[in-house]
Amino acid sequence: MTEDELREYMEEWRDFGYLFIRARWTMDGARTLSEAARCFRDRAEALEQLARAGFELDQPAGNGFAIAVRPGEESPMRLVEEDE
Please state the pTM of the whole predicted model.
0.76
- Domain extent at residue 40: 3-83
pLDDT for position 35: 97
Determine the distance from the C-alpha atom of residue 83 to the mean position of all C-alpha atoms in its chain, rounded to a whole number.
27
pLDDT for position 52: 92
How many domains does the chain fold into?
Answer: 1
Residue type at position 43: R
The domain that contains 29 carries what CATH number? 1.10.10
SS3 59: coil
Per-residue pLDDT of 26-84, as tens digits, reads 999 999 999 999 999 999 999 999 999 899 999 999 998 999 998 887 766 655 455 55
pLDDT for position 10: 87
